[in-house]
Amino acid sequence: MRRKLHIGKYTVPTLALLALMIGSVAAIAYVVLQFAATVTVVANPKVAFVEWATNSKKNTFNYAVNVFPSIKTIDENITNGVWNWDTVAHTSYLRVQGITNPSNVQVVYLKVYNGTTTVVTVTWNSGETLPQSWTTFTAAANSKYTIWMEVTAASGAVVGQASVVTVEMKVESP
């Protein structure tokens, strides 16, 4: 037991080295806990997009518009809106999540409104980081809202090159 281990210029008692190694290994301890979540697929959350042409609920949609360098293009009522088809109001959120070829886009402005009441606006200006933080709004019970979209193309926008503006909507207690 009094044997010594020589490492380089140093002498280490073997028993002390062995105790240190065992202590290091034994110091790692953990516990595993778990929970189970049941997920049920339903067609749409209580606040969804609405396709105006068919009056049907949508979770996603695509919208295309031509824009021109240095020009603001305005669409006061794009092909889809926002619909809270529930009997209670829901807190919801909107943001610009991403833009492909952002150098082609100077400004993106979104407004969600009902008649003359604006419930939320979101503006992205060239150079701002993406994704944006969420902007909160309340979707009133049994209400449909129009989406207004303005896009100003940059003065140096490349003709023929598309930019995809991805907008996200998040709904509490869907």
Per-residue pLDDT of the chain (174 residues; tens, 9 = 90+): 566 666 665 655 665 666 666 655 556 778 888 999 999 999 999 999 999 999 999 999 999 999 999 999 999 999 999 999 999 999 999 999 999 999 999 999 999 999 889 999 999 999 999 999 999 999 999 999 999 999 999 999 999 999 999 999 999 888
Residue 10 falls inside a structural domain: no
Residue 5 falls inside a structural domain: no
Q: Which two tokens stand for residue 113?
A: 């409104």
Per DSSP, what are the bridge partners of residue 147? 112
Residue 116, pLDDT score: 83
Residue 30, pLDDT score: 81
- The secondary structure of 125-148 as a DSSP string is ETT--SSPPPEEEEE-TTEEEEEE
Residue 75 falls inside a structural domain: yes
| CATH number, domain with residue 60 | 2.60.120
Residue 35 falls inside a structural domain: no
Residue 100 falls inside a structural domain: yes
Only one residue has tokens 């998040």, namely 170
Number of domains, the chain: 1
Residue 52 falls inside a structural domain: yes
pLDDT in tens, 105-119: 999 999 999 988 999
Residue 20, pLDDT score: 64
Residue 141 falls inside a structural domain: yes
Residue 73 falls inside a structural domain: yes
Q: From the centroid of its chain, how far is CA 52?
A: 25
Residue 174, pLDDT score: 86
Range of the domain at 163: 47-171
Residue 13, pLDDT score: 63
Residue 19 makes CB contacts below 8 A (sequence gap 6+) with none
Residue 93, pLDDT score: 98
pTM of the predicted structure, to 2 decimals = 0.78
